[in-house]
């Protein structure tokens, strides 16, 4: 019996292969409508902001479907939910009629101060309870489909009584929300913590995946680091392929946040991702073509 969210997922638009809207690449991004299915914006960059940033956003909104991916919800924090933040977020989503919004399964604030880092929470039953209650309040307040993203983490916290798969599943099912599955984060965690990335995927409620993130990372001395600053590597494409064969999704997004290459390289990477999707889930890319034809 599909839950409310799973029914909702079927009604969401198929946006195809998208790119994060970043200031350093904004001008070129806006010139490549034919190669990009949708744009993902970081709402904190536009909330209460005018000037050049707003201009770019208006241009983007007139040409592309927009999706929102926030960083300051801090869903795992013990701080009260920030209602001013939620009001501004809701206003932005309403203004641009954004089909779904997402944030990370982590915390980013302590005692009202924002940390500019995605910090992991313990995988425990008490954390599940805390986060489920907050996700429900966020969804009720904002009134749009909401996704949580799996993060990369570099250590396990004390006090855990669940696996990451159990933890994520419990939260998504109890709160009845969606999953933004970052396949690069899965790969980074699998290598750093020594588990099998493909087996890990099977512990997640993949039917709840609405959007996928794909990105590159950096090899450190002892760990690999999730930088979004390098090209996507083959094993991460394999994870993408595997997920696309298991569940229908509405969008795959290339994340590039630093070490920006020539835009041609971005276009080539988008085409690579499209090639994987065409084979594994053609209806995703067909939707994208319909959108782009308008
Ligand atoms: Fe991501």
- pLDDT top residue among 238 and 23: 238
Distance from the alpha carbon of residue 134 to the mean position of ligand 1, in angstroms: 21
Distance from the alpha carbon of residue 181 to the mean position of ligand 1, in angstroms: 8
Query: Which residue has 């991916």 as its token pair?
Result: 69
Distance from the alpha carbon of residue 19 to the mean position of ligand 1, in angstroms: 12
Residue 270 belongs to domain with CATH number = 3.20.20.150
Q: How many CA within 13 A on the CB side of residue 50?
A: 0
What is d(CA 271, CA 249) in angstroms, rounded to the nearest whole number? 18
Distance from the alpha carbon of residue 180 to the mean position of ligand 1, in angstroms: 8
Rounded mean pLDDT, 113-120: 79
pLDDT tier at 145, thresholds 50, 70, 90: very high
pLDDT tier at 106, thresholds 50, 70, 90: confident
Summary mean pLDDT of the chain: 91
Question: What are the CA-CA distances from residue 41 to residues 66, 69, 196, 198 (Å)?
Answer: 7, 6, 31, 29
Query: What is the per-residue pLDDT for 287?
Result: 58
User: Is the torsion defined by CA of 152, 205, 251, 8 positive or negative?
Assistant: negative
Q: Cβ distance 246 to 204 under 8 Å?
A: no
Distance from the alpha carbon of residue 152 to the mean position of ligand 1, in angstroms: 9
Domain range for 125: 4-293
**Burial (CB count within 10 angstroms: exposed 0-12, middle 13-18, buried 19+), residue 264:** exposed
Query: What is the per-residue pLDDT for 291?
Result: 55
Rounded mean pLDDT, 269-282: 96
Question: What are the CA-CA distances from residue 183 to residues 33, 161, 239, 246, 293 (Å)?
Answer: 25, 24, 6, 14, 29
Distance from the alpha carbon of residue 256 to the mean position of ligand 1, in angstroms: 10
Task: Give yes or no for residue 119 having a pLDDT over 90.
Answer: no
Q: What percent of the chain has pLDDT over 90?
A: 72
Distance from the alpha carbon of residue 214 to the mean position of ligand 1, in angstroms: 7
What's the pTM value of the predicted model, to 2 decimals? 0.93
Distance from the alpha carbon of residue 232 to the mean position of ligand 1, in angstroms: 13
Distance from the alpha carbon of residue 294 to the mean position of ligand 1, in angstroms: 28
Query: Which residue has 């770019």 as its token pair?
Result: 56
Q: What percent of the chain has pLDDT over 70?
A: 96
Query: What is the per-residue pLDDT for 1?
Result: 46
Instruction: Find which of 132-146, 153-167, 249-263 is predicted with most confidence, using mean pLDDT.
Output: 132-146
Task: Give yes or no for residue 239 having a pLDDT over 80.
Answer: yes
Query: What is the per-residue pLDDT for 2?
Result: 55
Which residues 6+ apart lie within 8 Å of 245 measured at CB? 280, 281
SS (HEC) of 125-193:
HHHHHHHHHHHHHHHHHHCCCEEEECCCCCCCCCCCCCCHHHHHHHHHHHHCCEEEEEHHHHHHHHHHH
pLDDT digit string, tens, across residues 246-271? 999 999 999 987 788 899 999 999 99
Question: What are the CA-CA distances from residue 22 to residues 59, 149, 243 (Å)?
Answer: 13, 19, 26
Which residues 6+ apart lie within 8 Å of 116 measured at CB? 108
CB burial string 134-167: b at 16+ within 10 A, e below: bbeebbeebebbbbbbbbbbeeeeeeeebebbeb
What is d(CA 53, CA 9) in angstroms, rounded to the nearest whole number? 31
Distance from the alpha carbon of residue 236 to the mean position of ligand 1, in angstroms: 13
pLDDT digit string, tens, across residues 31-89? 999 999 999 999 999 998 888 889 999 999 999 999 999 998 889 888 888 999 999 99
Distance from the alpha carbon of residue 253 to the mean position of ligand 1, in angstroms: 9
Pair of tokens at residue 271: 């085409």
Query: What is the per-residue pLDDT for 286?
Result: 83
Into how many domains does the chain fold?
1
Query: What is the per-residue pLDDT for 167?
Result: 96
Distance from the alpha carbon of residue 39 to the mean position of ligand 1, in angstroms: 14
């Amino acid at each position: 019996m599909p839950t409310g969210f799973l029914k909702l997922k079927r009604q969401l638009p198929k946006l195809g292969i998208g790119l994060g809207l970043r200031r350093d690449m904004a001008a070129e991004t806006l010139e490549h409508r034919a190669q990009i299915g949708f744009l993902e914006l970081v709402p904190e960059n536009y909330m209460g902001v005018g000037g050049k940033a707003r201009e770019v956003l208006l241009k983007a909104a007139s040409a592309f479907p927009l999706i929102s991916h926030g960083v300051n919800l801090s869903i795992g924090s013990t701080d009260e939910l920030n209602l001013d933040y939620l009001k501004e977020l809701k206003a932005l989503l309403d203004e641009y009629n954004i089909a779904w919004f997402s944030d990370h399964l982590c915390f980013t604030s302590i005692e009202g101060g924002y940390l500019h880092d995605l910090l992991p929470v313990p995988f425990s039953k008490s954390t599940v309870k805390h986060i489920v209650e907050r996700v429900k309040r966020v969804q009720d307040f904002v009134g749009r489909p909401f996704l949580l993203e799996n993060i990369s983490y570099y250590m396990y916290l004390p006090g855990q009584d669940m696996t990451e798969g159990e933890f994520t599943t419990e939260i998504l099912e109890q709160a009845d929300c969606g999953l933004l599955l970052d396949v690069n984060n899965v790969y980074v965690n699998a290598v750093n913590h020594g588990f099998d990335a493909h087996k890990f995927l099977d512990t997640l409620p993949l039917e709840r995946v609405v959007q996928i993130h794909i990105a590159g990372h950096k090899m450190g001395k002892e760990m690999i680091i999730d930088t979004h600053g390098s090209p996507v590597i083959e094993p991460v494409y394999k994870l993408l392929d595997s997920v696309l064969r298991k569940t229908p999704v509405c969008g795959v997004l290339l994340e590039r946040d630093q070490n920006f290459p020539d835009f041609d390289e971005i276009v080539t990477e988008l085409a690579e991702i499209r090639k994987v999707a065409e084979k594994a889930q053609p209806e995703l890319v067909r939707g994208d073509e319909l959108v782009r034809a308008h």
